[in-house]
């Protein structure tokens, strides 16, 4: 009996044979189906994020608090504490954290809120990137070269890593309309999820284009 992979994402179901090459038409059908799911999910995430007034910088800095692997609730608590303090100071979160950084007080505050070394390193990296690319707190217009430089800066930043780096850039694209970097890649986690679904990395790289990756990622997010 052939092994199969069952894709069951938001009430969509498809059976993909494993271990045998799928005909090109089937692959194109799977691609279209995954992009449909991914774009629908991204539209929902975009609506929720924007309705909550979360600007691009806040979205980025939130991910710094995922760097220690302690999850969404932990990261959300620290972000909420910081946002509250910024509102009490009558400034946006970017301005508040920048002031603390310039005063040499940022790391101390983050530790007092429960952030560990990984999260603090990642938060400083993201703040530095935001300052360098003028994400203060919203995205400025960027040409292709600047977008490509931003992508590389995020991937190379200390404390970020492959998964968080791509999570950041994918959300900037699918929520805040950042232009797609010309060399945008799938994250290792995304390739692993596609492999679970019966699409090996070499097939995935041929099947999907750079502009597809953020939406393929959202489609297979909970695999």
Which of these, 98, 147, 85, lies nearest to 124 by C-alpha position? 98
pTM of the entire predicted model: 0.87
Instruction: Check whether residue 41 and residue 73 sit in a common domain.
Output: no
Whether residue 180 lies inside any domain: the answer is no
Is residue 20 predicted with pLDDT exceeding 50? no
DSSP 79-93: HHHHHHHHHHTTS-H
Whether residue 212 lies inside any domain: the answer is no
Whether residue 62 lies inside any domain: the answer is yes
Predicted confidence band of residue 90 (pLDDT cuts 50, 70, 90): very high
Q: What percent of the chain stands above pLDDT 70?
A: 90
pLDDT at res. 2 = 32
Instruction: Check whether residue 32 and residue 107 sit in a common domain.
Output: no
Whether residue 66 lies inside any domain: the answer is yes
For residue 149, what are the domain limits?
A: 55-174
Q: Which position has the token pair 């991937």?
A: 155
Q: How distant, in Å, are the alpha carbons of 12, 30, 62, 73, 148 from that of 182?
A: 31, 24, 26, 34, 7
Give the CATH number for residue 67: 1.10.340
Q: 125 and 160 in contact (C-beta within 8 Å)?
A: yes
pLDDT at res. 24 = 78
Task: Give the model confidence (pLDDT) of 207-220 as tens digits.
Answer: 999 999 999 999 99
Is residue 177 predicted with pLDDT exceeding 60? yes
Predicted confidence band of residue 222 (pLDDT cuts 50, 70, 90): confident
Whole-angstrom distance, CA of residue 128 vs CA of residue 177: 21
Which of these, 8, 100, 86, 11, lies nearest to 54 by C-alpha position? 86
Instruction: Check whether residue 15 and residue 61 sit in a common domain.
Output: no
Instruction: Check whether residue 60 and residue 163 sit in a common domain.
Output: yes
> Quick one: average pLDDT of 77-88?
96
Structural domain count of the chain: 2
Instruction: Check whether residue 95 and residue 43 sit in a common domain.
Output: no
Task: Give the model confidence (pLDDT) of 33-44 as tens digits.
Answer: 999 999 999 999
Instruction: Check whether residue 94 and residue 145 sit in a common domain.
Output: yes
């Amino acid at each position: 009996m052939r092994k199969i992979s069952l894709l069951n994402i938001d009430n969509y179901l498809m059976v993909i044979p494993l271990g045998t090459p799928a005909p090109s038409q089937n692959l194109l059908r799977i691609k279209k189906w995954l992009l449909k799911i991914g774009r629908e999910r991204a539209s929902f995430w975009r609506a929720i994020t924007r309705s909550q007034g979360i600007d691009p910088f806040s979205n980025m800095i939130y991910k710094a608090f995922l760097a220690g692997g302690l999850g969404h609730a932990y990261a959300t608590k620290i972000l909420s504490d910081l946002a509250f303090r910024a509102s009490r100071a009558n400034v946006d979160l970017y301005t508040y954290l920048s002031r603390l950084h310039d005063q040499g007080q940022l790391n101390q505050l983050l530790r007092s809120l429960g952030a560990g070394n990984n999260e603090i390193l990642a938060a400083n990296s993201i703040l530095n990137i935001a300052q360098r690319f003028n994400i203060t707190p919203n995205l400025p217009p960027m040409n292709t070269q600047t977008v490509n430089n931003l992508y590389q800066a995020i991937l190379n930043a200390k404390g970020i890593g492959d998964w968080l780096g791509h999570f950041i850039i994918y959300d900037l694209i699918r929520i805040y309309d950042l232009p797609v970097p010309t060399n945008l890649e799938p994250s290792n986690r995304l390739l692993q999820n596609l492999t679970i679904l019966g699409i090996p990395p070499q097939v995935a790289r041929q099947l999907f284009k750079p502009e597809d990756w953020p939406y393929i990622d959202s489609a297979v997010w909970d695999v």
